[in-house]
Amino acid sequence: MPKISNAEIFVLGETNAEKSSPWSSTIIVLKLTTSDGVVGYGEAPTTMMTLPVYEEMREVARVFKGKEATEIEKNYMDFYKHSFYLPVSMETTSALSAFEMASWDILGKIYGMPVHKAFGGAIRDKIRAYANGWYDGCITASDFVKSAKNVVRMGFTGVKFDPFGDAYDNIDSEHIENAAHIVGALREEFPKLDLMIECHGRFNANSAMRVARAIKPFKPLFMEEPVHPDQFNGLMRFREYSRIPVALGERVLDRNLFLNYMKSNAMDVIQPDITNFGGLMQGKSVADMAYSFGIEVAYHNAFGPIQTAATLNLDYTIPNLLIQESFEAFWPEWKKKLVKSGYSLEDGYFTLSRDKPGLGIDINERILEEYKVSGMEPFNESEPAWAVGGTFKPIAKDGSKDNISHRKSR
């Protein structure tokens, strides 16, 4: 069988950070090549960790080079043996994810089959997507409604957004009222649109409970990361108080670490990210675990098109898929052009080129060369990297408040 002979690592980006997703202004692409010339691609996230993840990928390459490319589980476990902090190090799990992903791309090409067939085959024809990254620069309810109209015209039936301005840890009554006004305005304008509330893991439990009380009347599909991710007991206090479904998981880095959340009934929807979770095997395994608990899956997907293609290969196979995150429509052009073909997003649904081998994508290698960058991604002292661009701002007066209140009272 062919062996892994070369690992090329590309850090891609552009001088100006993305407006919609500054945390992914850079992405790391892996080009893995076998001894007989078969090429597979993987992707690793950055999130203010570009250089640490890049360097860790060089370490993973030292273990993977010379190994049989199709022995994916064996190679994975061999690295696990050498990596002391693997289950809790984002740098390590991200680096390993890219190699695991690229290995599946290679395996599919060797055997002439799409990756989703190796995971049991497709059980659906298309994947419902929700829009994220659509609300860059939105501050007032009017801003959110105006931007959401464009999203709905694209065919999306669900949107995720963060309506909390510059509130962090604690949230005062003014910020709560403003957030409720934004959510309420969207619900009134789009009564059938699924609304997902992004909290970014920024609140203590008491603040999250106050938020939940204010937005519950607008029936959100879920609240994502309502409580700081390291405050598990706070999350459980929130669960005892609120009946709004909870989604979380982009910062849970291993399937076994999810088990306590499931046993404790800590959430309703899991959101593992296969670019920092160990790759596709872990992503499929944790979906199977969740199925046993009646928990749904909505994979986190906030970086680049190779991640999307790999994630879609899993989406096609799992029975407990809820919905799939998508930033595609709001990417900069270089990221849209990185993948020449392989999947499409039309009228709010993803479809994958399901007969193409491997991950099913064709990479535009010109982008790999033209958009190389070095160093860390941009840093904005006034706005955390995890916020959608231009939204971590003080509350602004919104002239639509009186109008919306009037319409609701009639």
Options 116, 181, 228, 300, the catalytic residue: 300
The answer to whether residue 300 is catalytic is yes
Q: Residue 7, SS3?
A: strand
Contact status, residue 200 vs residue 171, Cβ threshold 8 Å: no
- Name the pairing type of β-strands 349-352 and 127-131: antiparallel
Q: How far apart (Å, rounded) are the C-alpha atoms in residues 327 and 307? A: 11
**CA 181 to CA 175: how far, in whole Å?**
10
Is 200 tagged catalytic?
yes
Half-sphere exposure of 275 (CA within 13 A, CB side): 26
Query: What's the CA gap between 119 and 312, in Å, rounded?
Result: 12
User: Are the beta carbons of 30 and 42 closer than 8 angstroms?
Assistant: yes
Q: Which of 116, 175, 200, 228 is catalytic?
A: 200
Q: How far apart are CA 122 and CA 323, in angstroms?
A: 16
Give the bridge partners for 349, in sequence order: 128, 346
Please state, in angstroms and rounded to a whole number, the distance separating the CA atoms of residues 275 and 278: 7
Task: Count CB neighbours of 328 within 10 A.
Answer: 20
> Residue 28: in which H helix or E strand, if any?
strand 26-34
59: its two tokens? 């370490």
Neighbours of 368 (CB within 10 A): 16
Q: Which residues are catalytic?
A: 200, 300
